[in-house]
Amino acid sequence: MDRIRITGGNVLNGTLPISGAKNAALPLMIASLLTDDTLTLDNVPHLADVESLIRILGNHGVDYSVNGRRENQQKGYSRTIHFTARSIVDTVAPYELVSKMRASFWVIGPLLARMGEARVSLPGGCAIGTRPVDLFIDGLRALGAEIEIEQGYVHAKAKNGLIGNRYVFPKVSVGATHVLMMAAALAKGETVLENAAREPEIVNLADCLNAMGAKISGAGTDTIRIDGVTSLSGARHRVIPDRIETGTYAMAVAMTGGDVMLEGAQADLLESALGTLEQTGAEITRANTGIRVRRNGGGINPVDITTQPFPGFPTDLQAQFMGLMTMARGRSHITETIFENRFMHVQELARLGAKISLSGQTAVVDGVAQLRGAPVMATDLRASVSLVIAALAAEGQTEVNRVYHLDRGFERLEEKLSACGAAVERISS
């Protein structure tokens, strides 16, 4: 199992390219199931989750090629991938494949809409809470699907097709909004989704579906209207830059000090996090080509945050922000409202000398003057990178174990950080 070894203390300087967003690429890839034509996606990040989804889609009959060729080039870099689901050969998504990744459950929407049936294993993903699928089931039922759960599988049927309807989400869900938008795109008549997720990844998917011939308006607001069409065509579409990767490296620079241009980053995708970083004392410059982050001297101010759906502070940056706060000049409060068990990084950060106590859904962080390197364990994707941020500023050496979590969502992390002056290496074993 690979490990990442970091020797802390170096400031970060230079240019760091931001990859395509994992959480945008995955639903876009799944949208390829909606058409027998080719969907070409540009800027697809080279990540373990993308590779897993390629295998899952292949099981349903989706053929793919990378830059017109089978994949064997430019390992580790964002790519253009062509996906073609000429015919769906299997409407079952098995446990062995779906249990690894939450987003793979989302194939249920397109399979049901196109084939009138889907049998999809209950999903896996980061162990950050119970993560039920009740909203998907209620929403698809509202579109006329018959759904049963048997032996760990959700079995959905709509033999005569889905029918548009109004559905009000009782709680904001990114995944359920993606799925209902895809399903409703091929339903008969109009669907109105209220209290829908407003995340940029929803807008990216809606734009792609519209390029494929769907009639969707309102994505990015809490009310999305979808006029169903009988079929969708192929299209070419670009994955947006990864706002979580952007925020992560911005926090790394705020932690170590230095001056880094996050090339290709888009500020409007993470204004809430950037505003918070400015309050900590980091200087943020929004440019057309990216975001410049600087902290030259001066300590880190403690800032309280509460995670919220977009446009609020993202839960996917909570762990990284906690990493930064471990060395703030005072006390901060970090409240997690999206997932009930997303504090697994607390005990690992403590190994580096962080002082954090938990009170319900709030972590109270008392900044320390210096962290010290230690062996730590990655527990989930974002938790693992919070350890990297802390280790970059810790005195001495830190080894982060179980980096397969990191590889799910961060493209060439050690290469990108090393190019900016960090002492980071991967130890393969």
| Chain position whose Cβ is nearest to ligand PEP | 125
Residue from 163, 115, 173, 114 nearest 140 by CA: 163
Query: Distance (Å, rounded) from C-alpha 397 to C-alpha 419?
Result: 19
Contact by Cβ (8 Å): 319, 386: yes
245 sits near ligand PEP (criterion: CB under 6 A): no
CA atoms within a 13 Å half-sphere pointing along the CA-CB vector of 222: 11
Closest CB to ligand UD1 among residues 19, 256: 19
In Å, how far are 3, 401, 403, 411, 421 from 428, measured between CA atoms?
A: 7, 11, 10, 16, 21
Q: State how far the Cα of 225 lies from the Cα of 237, in Å rounded to an integer.
A: 21
- Choose one: 95-103, 134-142, 191-199, 298-306; the region binding ligand PEP (CB under 6 A): 95-103
- Segment holding 293, helix H or strand E: strand 290-295
Q: Is 356 annotated as a binding residue?
A: no
Would you say 207 or 316 has its CB closer to ligand UD1?
A: 316
Task: List 92's β-bridge partners, or say none.
Answer: 119
Write the interaction track for ligand PEP spanning residues 108-127; mark x where CB under 6 A is met and - where it is not: -----------------xx-
Torsion angle in degrees (nearest 10) through CA of 351, 354, 357, 363: -110
CB 63 within 8 A of CB 84: yes
Residue 134 binding target from ligand PEP, ligand UD1, none, CB below 5 to 8 Å by type: ligand UD1
> What one-character-per-residue DSSP string does 91-155 give?
-EE-HHHHTT-GGGGGGHHHHHHHHSEEEEEPP---SSS----HHHHHHHHHTT-EEEEETTEEE
Pick the closer one to ligand UD1 by CB: 8 or 110. 110
22 is in an annotated binding site: yes
For ligand UD1, the binding residues (CB under 6 A) are 23, 26, 102-103, 129, 131-136, 171, 173-176, 315-316, 338-339
For 404-429, letters b (16+ CB in 10 Å) and e give: ebbbbbbbbbbebbebbebebeeeee
Q: Which stretch binds ligand PEP (CB under 6 A): 78-86, 99-107, 135-143, 233-241?
A: 99-107
| Residue 400 beta carbon to ligand PEP: minimum distance, rounded to whole angstroms | 17
Helix axes 174-185, 22-31, angle to 10 degrees: 20
CA-derived radius of gyration, the chain: 21
- Strand order of the β-sheet with 153-157 is 92-93, 117-121, 153-157, 146-150
SS3 sequence of 304-322: CEEECCCCCECHHHHHHHH
Question: Cβ of 370: how many Cβ atoms within 10 Å?
Answer: 11
Report in angstroms how near the CB of residue 76 gets to ligand UD1 at its nearest: 21
Instruction: Kindly tell me which of 243 and 382 has the beta carbon lying closer to ligand PEP.
Output: 382
CA 253 – CA 168 distance, rounded (Å): 41
> Any bridge partners for residue 162, and if so which?
none
State the nearest-atom distance from the C-beta of 197 to ligand UD1, in Å.
6
Give me the least distance between CB of 132 and ligand PEP, in Å please.
Answer: 13
Does 392 help bind ligand PEP (rule: CB under 6 A)? no
CB of residue 113 to ligand UD1, shortest distance in Å: 18
For residues 18 to 47, the per-residue mask of contacts with ligand PEP, x marking binding by CB under 6 A and - elsewhere, is -----x------------------------
Nearest approach, Cβ of residue 175 and ligand UD1 (Å) = 3
134 is in an annotated binding site: yes
Annotated binding residue at 135? yes
Q: Which does 280 bind (CB under 5 to 8 A by kind): ligand UD1, ligand PEP, none?
A: none
Catalytic-labelled residue, pool 26, 62, 98, 126: 126
Exactly one of 199, 207, 316, 411 binds ligand PEP (CB under 6 A); that residue is: 316
**Is there a binding annotation on residue 203?**
no
Place of tokens 């950060």: 349
Q: Is 102 in the site for ligand PEP (CB under 6 A)?
A: yes
Least CB distance to ligand PEP at residue 133 (A): 12
Whether residue 420 lies in the annotated active site: no
Closer residue to ligand PEP, CB minimum distance, 110 or 409: 409
Q: Which residues are annotated as a binding site for UDP-N-acetyl-alpha-D-glucosamine?
A: 102, 131-135, 171-174, 316, 338
Q: Which residues bind ligand PEP (CB under 6 A)?
A: 23, 101-103, 125-126, 316, 381-382, 409
Catalytic residues: 126
Q: Which residues are annotated as a binding site?
A: 22-23, 102, 131-135, 171-174, 316, 338
